[in-house]
């Protein structure tokens, strides 16, 4: 069998507001517009992915939170309605998705053999979390590829950001080995926002962009530092900063998603393509692509 590969990695944040603003048929609420900067960034990402042949989207989501180990979706099809618990006014999304169960099982086995506590999620009535759904929808609205969804083992909160760092690095390495063994061509999605200070009073109309900005300059400076490291290909330095970044900005990197992906990509030293940066309810969000296979083929270092 041909060796599998990670064709691209994406920082693919999941504010449901971005789906709401696009008015897809799956989502019940209707919007006038909103968050164009981030949505147009996702459009550019989608255009790039159109030129890449791949089999499966693999996503690690901060909103599938597990306290005993890392879990993997392990049922072929999930269909239900996903309602955002904080924003039911703008996200009531009817999903019907398929899972690449054999790849999920290979990943689970590799992670377990690397010493991580793991579990396959076999409950057909399980409600898939909105982080998984939003990141996958914005990356591939046609839903024509199966997915693998990986839970966020809450080590940051149960233990510490440093424990999360160590286990995410291990999970990333196991993910890469599993993909290579599977023979599949895979796009990885780290489904997390950056700085995470929310606004405290809500506009009457969610898409009122006059309210949409960062609410603390220090949080903005941290986001820019992190993005500069991505652009400069300094991903090992970035990963070392993640525990501090997480503590200082309550960033969604607490989920381990970004660290997992950079470890799976073997710490790219080529520049990432930043498609967009913008805020949603005051949180920092960036859409960033590592065109991994293209850089490996052109002879660049990983
Ligand atoms: O889950 C989220 C998020 N991460 C950022 C912004 C808005 C809503 O939901
Ligand atoms: Fe979130």
Ligand 1 center from residue 2 Cα (angstroms): 39
**Residue nearest (by alpha carbon) to ligand 1 atom 6:** 15
Ligand 1 center from residue 15 Cα (angstroms): 4
Ligand closest to the CA atom of residue 152: 2
Ligand closest to the CA atom of residue 206: 1
Ligand closest to the CA atom of residue 283: 1
Ligand 1 center from residue 16 Cα (angstroms): 7
Ligand 2 center from residue 255 Cα (angstroms): 10
**Residue nearest (by alpha carbon) to ligand 1 atom 3:** 15
In 2-100, which ranges are E strands? 5-11, 56-66, 70-73, 77-83, 92-98
Q: At 17, list the tokens.
A: 């507001």
Name 159's Cβ contacts closer than 8 Å, sequence gap at least 6: none
**CA distances for 177 relative to 27, 59, 182, 292, angstroms:** 36, 16, 9, 16
Ligand 1 center from residue 196 Cα (angstroms): 8
Give 186-218 pLDDT, tens digit per residue: 999 999 999 999 999 989 999 999 999 999 999
At 300 the pLDDT is 62
pTM of the predicted model, to two decimals? 0.97
Distance in angstroms (rounded) separating the CA atoms of residues 38 and 277: 6
At 301 the pLDDT is 53
At 73 the pLDDT is 98
**Residue nearest (by alpha carbon) to ligand 1 atom 9:** 15
Name 282's Cβ contacts closer than 8 Å, sequence gap at least 6: 197, 198, 199, 212, 213, 214, 215
**Residue nearest (by alpha carbon) to ligand 1 atom 8:** 15
At 195 the pLDDT is 98
Q: Which residues line ligand 1 (CB under 6 A)?
A: 14-16, 193, 252, 280-281, 283
**Residue nearest (by alpha carbon) to ligand 1 atom 2:** 15
At 231 the pLDDT is 98
Q: At 227, list the tokens.
A: 């993005």
Weakly modelled stretches of the chain, pLDDT under 70: 300-302
The domains found in the chain, sorted by start residue, are 5-297 (3.40.830.10)
Ligand 2 center from residue 160 Cα (angstroms): 19
Q: Work out the number of other CB atoms within 10 angstroms of the CB of residue 116.
A: 16
Q: Which atom of ligand 1 is nearest to the CA of 130?
A: 1
């Amino acid at each position: 069998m041909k060796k599998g590969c990670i064709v691209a990695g994406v920082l693919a944040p999941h504010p449901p507001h971005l789906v709401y603003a696009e008015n897809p048929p799956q989502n019940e609420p209707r919007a006038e517009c909103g968050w164009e900067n981030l949505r147009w960034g996702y459009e550019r990402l989608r255009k790039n992915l159109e030129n890449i042949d791949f089999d499966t989207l693999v996503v690690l989501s901060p909103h599938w939170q597990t306290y005993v180990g890392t879990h993997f979706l392990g049922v072929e099809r999930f269909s239900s309605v996903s309602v955002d618990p904080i924003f039911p006014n703008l996200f009531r999304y009817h999903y019907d998705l398929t899972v690449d169960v054999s790849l999920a099982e290979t990943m689970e086995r590799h992670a377990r053999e690397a010493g991580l506590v793991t579990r396959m999620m076999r409950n057909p009535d399980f409600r898939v979390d909105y982080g998984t759904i939003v990141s996958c929808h914005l990356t591939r609205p046609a839903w024509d590829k199966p997915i693998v969804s990986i839970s966020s083992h809450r080590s940051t909160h149960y233990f510490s950001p440093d424990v999360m760092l160590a286990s995410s690095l291990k999970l990333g390495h196991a993910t890469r080995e599993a993909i290579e063994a599977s023979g599949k061509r895979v796009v990885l999605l780290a489904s997390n926002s950056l700085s995470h200070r929310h606004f405290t009073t809500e506009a009457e109309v969610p898409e009122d962009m006059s309210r949409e900005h960062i609410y603390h300059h220090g949080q903005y400076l941290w986001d820019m530092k992190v993005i500069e490291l991505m652009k400069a290909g300094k991903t090992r330095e970035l990963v070392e900063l993640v525990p501090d970044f997480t503590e200082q900005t309550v960033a969604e990197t607490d989920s381990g998603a970004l660290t997992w992906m950079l470890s799976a990509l073997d710490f790219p030293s080529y520049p990432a393509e930043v498609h967009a940066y913008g805020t949603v309810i005051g949180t920092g969000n960036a859409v960033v692509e590592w065109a991994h296979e293209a850089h490996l083929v052109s002879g660049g270092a990983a």
